[in-house]
Amino acid sequence: MRIATGDLYVSSVEGFVVGRFGSGTSLTKGQNIGVYPTTKTTVEGETVFDGLRWDTDEVVLIPRAEYLAHLKAYDQELSADALKVRTKDDYDAWLKRQAAASKKDEPPKAGEKPAKPEREA
């Protein structure tokens, strides 16, 4: 069953770990769709794996060629509700949110006054 005819846009679903097929994915390499390993520092100062964090708001673009190359695998995950189908509009909106968040975290440029913090109501 072919879900998309062009590029595929998806988001992760809490509780499911789906890798980018063909990427040699492992949990520690971070090539999973919207799932990221979390770490903690031990009292000895060692950084160790602590679990997983899902970013279900992240919209991931799977290019048409990748989707077609791994059609059966992606469609199986979609049919099992392990991935949520999104749209190009969802993806574009997510990119705008990412850009806005990134810009908000940037230090002021030379000669520019720092932005005033937003006031809470």
Distance of CA 44 to the CA centre of its chain: 31
Q: What is the pLDDT of residues 69-99, one digit of tens each?
A: 999 999 999 999 999 999 999 999 999 998 9
| Dist CA 97 CA 58 (whole Å) | 10
pLDDT tens for each residue of 18-37:
988 876 655 545 578 998 88
Distance of CA 70 to the CA centre of its chain: 19
Q: Is the pTM of this model over 0.75?
A: no
Burial class (CB in 10 A: 0-12, 13-18, 19+), 33: buried
- Residue 40, H or E segment: strand 35-41
Phi–psi pair at 86, nearest 5 degrees: -120, 180
Alpha helices in 50-106 (DSSP H): 64-69, 71-79, 88-105
